Amino acid sequence: MTKPKVIFVVGPTAVGKSAYALNLAQETDGEIVSADSMQVYKGLDIGTAKPTPDERMMIPHHMIDVADPMEDYSAAEYCEAAQAAIGAIIKRGKQPIVCGGSGLYIHSLLYELDFAGRGADEDLRETLKKEADEKGAEHLFAKLLEIDPSAAKQVHPNNVKRVIRALERAYGEIENEGLRDFSGTFEEKQRYDARIIRLTMDRKALYERIERRTEKFFADELVSEVQGLLGRGIPRESNAMQGIGYKEVVSMLSGEYDESEALRLVQQNTRRFAKRQETWFKRYAIPKT
């Protein structure tokens, strides 16, 4: 059978994916499926740079505001719901355009990964538990300290359960390490007839865009948004509050540093994340500047 034709727009944060996908959807009579692991959460609007209400009225967007921030939302859940959204778009005679920078979400849609009925998150958890049993809690905490020092500050080295949860988030967010056990022969498992558009730009220009966008987040009351989320009882340890921009503001509100330092840290962490995204997406397509 002929595989459905799906366009994927990928690239680092702040490179302009959303605007590009919006224009492409207008040109192709398409609808957009978000592949952003933070835009799935309701109430996380400013720091995730969600499409505006006007943009969503102009072009239908899917997989935005589908999860309660009180709950953890897995890649397996996303993959199932996003596939359904793509199928519905195709039935309407429209062009599906997947747009986002979350590598695990993109990969789970592109390829028929073996989630073994549990989800990549749970398989990674079992691997980390085994590692803790064999090498000890200190070894696991040292790993967390290396890849996410900010998260390491928030957990006790001997609290293996919380260290594992922090590692799961870190792997999912920065390097998609959870894919190690699920990436088979891509050609054999590819789900769609995919046209992959990888956006890129000069590193210096991208970093300048990141700095300006971060400043706009704070000007647009990101701090108030985070205060509201915490006021609703959403724990700072939840996946929803681990996104860049949110975790730094949470620490600021806890008195760990002031707003200027929070801004600096968000800019720094976003630059690092963008660099890792670029590395991840290089495997997919020739870049489009």
CB 47, CB 214: distance < 8 Å: no
Q: Is 254 exposed, middle or buried (0-12, 13-18, 19+ CB in 10 A)?
A: exposed
Query: Residue 191 and residue 149: Cα distance in Å, rounded?
Result: 37
- For the CA atoms of 230, 228, 216, 17, the dihedral, rounded to the nearest 10 degrees, stands at 80
Reduce the DSSP state of residue 95 to 3 states and report it.
strand
pLDDT (tens digit per residue) in 79-128? 999 999 999 999 999 999 999 999 889 988 998 865 544 444 666 788 78
Residues with Cβ < 8 Å from 172, sequence gap 6 or more? 37, 75, 104, 121, 178
The segment(s) of the chain belonging to CATH 1.10.287.890 are: 204-275
**What share of the chain in percent tops pLDDT 90?**
63
The segment(s) of the chain belonging to CATH 3.40.50.300 are: 5-117+181-202+276-288
Reduce the DSSP state of residue 102 to 3 states and report it.
coil
pLDDT level of residue 3 (50, 70, 90 thresholds):
very high
Q: What pLDDT shows up at residue 114?
A: 55
Query: Residue 131 and residue 174: Cα distance in Å, rounded?
Result: 20
Residue 44 has pLDDT above 60, yes or no: yes
Q: What pLDDT shows up at residue 155?
A: 82
pLDDT level of residue 77 (50, 70, 90 thresholds):
very high
Q: What pLDDT shows up at residue 180?
A: 40
Radius of gyration of the chain (CA): 19
Range among 24-28, 167-171, 177-181 rated most confident:
24-28
The segment(s) of the chain belonging to CATH 1.10.20.140 are: 121-175
| Nearest Cα to Cα of residue 127 among 177, 77, 176, 76 | 177
This prediction's pTM:
0.77
Q: What pLDDT shows up at residue 178?
A: 37
Please give the structure tokens belonging to residue 162.
Answer: 């919380």
pLDDT (tens digit per residue) in 207-233? 999 999 999 999 999 999 999 999 999
Query: Residue 47 and residue 223: Cα distance in Å, rounded?
Result: 9
Q: What is the DSSP letter of 67?
A: B
pLDDT (tens digit per residue) in 175-200? 333 344 333 334 447 899 999 999 99
Q: Average pLDDT of the chain?
A: 87
CB 114, CB 188: distance < 8 Å: no
Residue 9 has pLDDT above 70, yes or no: yes
pLDDT (tens digit per residue) in 241-271? 999 999 999 999 999 999 999 999 999 999 9
Domain 204-275 is found in CATH 3.30.565.10:
no
pLDDT level of residue 174 (50, 70, 90 thresholds):
very low
Written out in words, the top-level CATH class of the domain with range 121-175 is: mainly alpha
Q: What pLDDT shows up at residue 285?
A: 61
Report which secondary-structure segment, H or E, holds 196.
strand 193-199
Count Cβ atoms below 10 Å from residue 218 Cβ, excluding itself. Answer: 18
Mean pLDDT of 10-23: 97
| Nearest Cα to Cα of residue 266 among 219, 205, 196 | 219
Domain 5-117+181-202+276-288 is found in CATH 2.60.40.10:
no
CA–centroid distance for 27 within its chain: 26
Q: What is the DSSP letter of 154?
A: T
SS (H, E, C) 5-63: EEEEEECCCCCCHHHHHHHHHHHHCEEEEECCCCCCECCCCCCCCCCCHHHHHHCCEEC
The residue type found at 187 is E
Q: What pLDDT shows up at residue 144?
A: 81
Which alpha helices (H) appear in the chain, and where do they start and end?
A: 17-28, 53-58, 75-91, 103-110, 120-135, 137-147, 149-152, 160-170, 186-189, 203-219, 222-231, 246-253, 259-281
Q: What pLDDT shows up at residue 135?
A: 83
Residue position matching structure tokens 């109430």 = 43
The residue type found at 55 is E
Low-confidence winner among 31-45, 154-168, 214-228 (lowest mean pLDDT): 154-168
